[in-house]
Amino acid sequence: MSEQIEDLVENLKRPSLWRRVFFTLGFALLFNIILVPLVLLMVLVQVAFAVFAGEKNSNLSELSEKLVAYIVEVLGFLLFTTERRPFPFNDFPGSGISDAGSNDGKEAERTETAERSETAGRTETAAQAETAEHISQLDESKDPDGGLDEDSPAPPRGPSATPQG
Protein backbone atom coordinates (compact mmCIF):
# COMPACT_ATOMS: atom_id res chain seq x y z
CA MET A 1 0.00 0.00 0.00
CA SER A 2 2.82 2.42 0.83
CA GLU A 3 4.37 1.72 -2.59
CA GLN A 4 1.17 2.92 -4.28
CA ILE A 5 1.21 6.09 -2.19
CA GLU A 6 4.85 6.69 -3.10
CA ASP A 7 3.98 6.28 -6.81
CA LEU A 8 1.11 8.72 -6.40
CA VAL A 9 3.36 11.27 -4.69
CA GLU A 10 5.95 10.84 -7.47
CA ASN A 11 3.29 11.42 -10.13
CA LEU A 12 2.04 14.53 -8.35
CA LYS A 13 5.58 15.95 -8.24
CA ARG A 14 6.01 15.70 -12.03
CA PRO A 15 5.76 19.16 -13.64
CA SER A 16 4.73 17.63 -16.99
CA LEU A 17 1.59 16.25 -15.34
CA TRP A 18 0.61 19.66 -13.99
CA ARG A 19 1.26 21.29 -17.38
CA ARG A 20 -0.96 18.68 -19.00
CA VAL A 21 -3.72 19.29 -16.41
CA PHE A 22 -3.44 23.06 -16.93
CA PHE A 23 -3.66 22.78 -20.75
CA THR A 24 -6.47 20.23 -20.53
CA LEU A 25 -8.55 22.56 -18.36
CA GLY A 26 -7.76 25.50 -20.64
CA PHE A 27 -8.79 23.67 -23.81
CA ALA A 28 -11.91 22.30 -22.07
CA LEU A 29 -12.94 25.88 -21.27
CA LEU A 30 -12.12 26.99 -24.82
CA PHE A 31 -14.21 24.16 -26.20
CA ASN A 32 -17.26 24.85 -24.05
CA ILE A 33 -17.19 28.65 -23.97
CA ILE A 34 -16.05 29.48 -27.52
CA LEU A 35 -16.19 26.52 -29.90
CA VAL A 36 -19.66 25.13 -29.09
CA PRO A 37 -21.40 28.54 -29.42
CA LEU A 38 -19.40 29.23 -32.61
CA VAL A 39 -20.57 25.94 -34.12
CA LEU A 40 -24.19 26.74 -33.23
CA LEU A 41 -23.86 30.20 -34.81
CA MET A 42 -22.36 28.72 -37.97
CA VAL A 43 -25.20 26.18 -38.17
CA LEU A 44 -27.78 28.96 -37.94
CA VAL A 45 -26.04 31.07 -40.58
CA GLN A 46 -25.67 28.11 -42.96
CA VAL A 47 -29.35 27.20 -42.49
CA ALA A 48 -30.30 30.83 -43.23
CA PHE A 49 -28.23 30.70 -46.44
CA ALA A 50 -29.89 27.43 -47.43
CA VAL A 51 -33.38 28.82 -46.79
CA PHE A 52 -32.97 32.28 -48.33
CA ALA A 53 -30.39 31.70 -51.07
CA GLY A 54 -31.32 28.12 -51.89
CA GLU A 55 -27.77 26.84 -51.47
CA LYS A 56 -25.05 26.61 -48.89
CA ASN A 57 -22.39 29.30 -48.52
CA SER A 58 -19.12 27.88 -49.88
CA ASN A 59 -16.90 30.18 -47.78
CA LEU A 60 -18.71 29.14 -44.63
CA SER A 61 -18.38 25.48 -45.67
CA GLU A 62 -14.60 25.85 -46.03
CA LEU A 63 -14.40 27.50 -42.62
CA SER A 64 -16.58 24.72 -41.20
CA GLU A 65 -14.20 22.05 -42.51
CA LYS A 66 -11.26 23.76 -40.82
CA LEU A 67 -13.25 24.20 -37.60
CA VAL A 68 -14.17 20.51 -37.60
CA ALA A 69 -10.49 19.58 -37.98
CA TYR A 70 -9.60 21.93 -35.10
CA ILE A 71 -12.35 20.49 -32.88
CA VAL A 72 -11.04 16.98 -33.61
CA GLU A 73 -7.56 18.11 -32.50
CA VAL A 74 -8.94 19.70 -29.31
CA LEU A 75 -11.01 16.64 -28.45
CA GLY A 76 -8.04 14.36 -29.15
CA PHE A 77 -5.98 16.37 -26.69
CA LEU A 78 -8.76 16.51 -24.09
CA LEU A 79 -9.39 12.77 -24.31
CA PHE A 80 -5.66 11.94 -24.10
CA THR A 81 -5.53 10.29 -27.53
CA THR A 82 -2.66 12.61 -28.42
CA GLU A 83 -0.11 14.70 -26.56
CA ARG A 84 0.10 17.21 -29.41
CA ARG A 85 -1.34 20.50 -28.18
CA PRO A 86 -3.78 22.17 -30.61
CA PHE A 87 -3.54 25.69 -32.04
CA PRO A 88 -2.09 28.17 -30.91
CA PHE A 89 0.71 25.84 -29.77
CA ASN A 90 0.85 24.14 -33.17
CA ASP A 91 -0.34 25.07 -36.65
CA PHE A 92 -4.04 25.52 -37.24
CA PRO A 93 -5.41 22.52 -39.15
CA GLY A 94 -5.89 23.19 -42.85
CA SER A 95 -3.62 26.24 -42.82
CA GLY A 96 -1.41 24.67 -45.48
CA ILE A 97 1.69 24.98 -43.28
CA SER A 98 3.15 21.61 -42.42
CA ASP A 99 4.30 20.96 -38.90
CA ALA A 100 7.79 19.46 -39.01
CA GLY A 101 7.52 18.36 -35.38
CA SER A 102 4.39 16.33 -35.99
CA ASN A 103 4.83 12.66 -35.17
CA ASP A 104 1.57 11.88 -36.86
CA GLY A 105 1.61 10.89 -40.54
CA LYS A 106 -2.16 10.40 -40.69
CA GLU A 107 -2.76 14.01 -41.72
CA ALA A 108 -0.43 13.67 -44.71
CA GLU A 109 -2.22 10.46 -45.73
CA ARG A 110 -5.62 12.18 -45.45
CA THR A 111 -4.41 15.10 -47.54
CA GLU A 112 -2.98 12.78 -50.20
CA THR A 113 -6.22 10.77 -50.30
CA ALA A 114 -8.29 13.95 -50.60
CA GLU A 115 -6.08 15.19 -53.43
CA ARG A 116 -6.45 11.86 -55.26
CA SER A 117 -10.24 11.99 -54.85
CA GLU A 118 -10.34 15.55 -56.11
CA THR A 119 -8.22 14.62 -59.16
CA ALA A 120 -10.45 11.62 -59.86
CA GLY A 121 -13.52 13.88 -59.61
CA ARG A 122 -11.98 16.32 -62.08
CA THR A 123 -11.11 13.45 -64.47
CA GLU A 124 -14.65 12.09 -64.25
CA THR A 125 -16.09 15.55 -64.94
CA ALA A 126 -13.78 15.95 -67.96
CA ALA A 127 -14.89 12.54 -69.28
CA GLN A 128 -18.53 13.54 -68.88
CA ALA A 129 -17.87 16.78 -70.76
CA GLU A 130 -16.16 14.87 -73.59
CA THR A 131 -19.09 12.47 -73.80
CA ALA A 132 -21.56 15.36 -73.95
CA GLU A 133 -19.50 17.02 -76.68
CA HIS A 134 -19.38 13.77 -78.66
CA ILE A 135 -23.15 13.38 -78.40
CA SER A 136 -23.72 16.95 -79.56
CA GLN A 137 -21.42 16.34 -82.54
CA LEU A 138 -23.42 13.24 -83.42
CA ASP A 139 -26.65 15.21 -83.18
CA GLU A 140 -25.23 17.85 -85.53
CA SER A 141 -24.15 15.21 -88.06
CA LYS A 142 -27.69 13.85 -88.44
CA ASP A 143 -29.64 15.15 -91.39
CA PRO A 144 -33.07 16.67 -90.81
CA ASP A 145 -35.12 14.16 -92.83
CA GLY A 146 -34.38 10.98 -90.91
CA GLY A 147 -31.65 11.75 -88.50
CA LEU A 148 -29.07 9.57 -90.23
CA ASP A 149 -26.02 10.23 -92.37
CA GLU A 150 -25.78 8.95 -95.92
CA ASP A 151 -23.32 6.29 -94.78
CA SER A 152 -25.64 4.97 -92.07
CA PRO A 153 -27.68 1.84 -92.78
CA ALA A 154 -31.33 2.35 -93.56
CA PRO A 155 -33.77 2.02 -90.68
CA PRO A 156 -35.71 -1.24 -90.48
CA ARG A 157 -38.93 -1.32 -92.49
CA GLY A 158 -41.98 -3.49 -92.32
CA PRO A 159 -44.53 -4.41 -89.66
CA SER A 160 -41.93 -5.06 -86.95
CA ALA A 161 -40.43 -1.56 -87.37
CA THR A 162 -43.64 0.36 -86.66
CA PRO A 163 -44.55 1.25 -83.11
CA GLN A 164 -47.42 -0.73 -81.67
CA GLY A 165 -50.18 1.45 -80.33
pLDDT-derived band at 11, boundaries 50, 70, 90: confident
pLDDT digits (tens, 9 = 90+) for 133-158: 656 665 555 555 544 555 555 555 65
pLDDT digits (tens, 9 = 90+) for 52-111: 998 989 999 999 999 999 999 999 999 999 999 988 888 888 776 544 444 444 554 555
Arithmetic mean of pLDDT, 25-33 = 90
Return the pLDDT at 136.
Answer: 61
Percent of the chain with pLDDT over 90: 27
Q: What angle do CA 43, 49, 53 make, to 5 degrees?
A: 165
Domain boundaries, the chain: 9-96
C-alpha atoms less than 13 angstroms from C-alpha of 156 in its C-beta half-sphere: 6
pLDDT digits (tens, 9 = 90+) for 108-129: 455 555 555 555 555 556 666 6
Return the pLDDT at 88.
Answer: 83
Spacing of C-alpha 133 from chain mean position:
31
- What is the value of pTM for the model shown? 0.53
Q: What is residue 52's DSSP assignment? A: H
Average confidence score pLDDT of the chain: 75
- What is the rounded CA–CA span in Å between residue 146 and residue 130? 25
Nearest to 141 by CA among 150, 128, 131, 132: 150
pLDDT exceeds cutoff 80 at 31: yes
Spacing of C-alpha 125 from chain mean position:
19
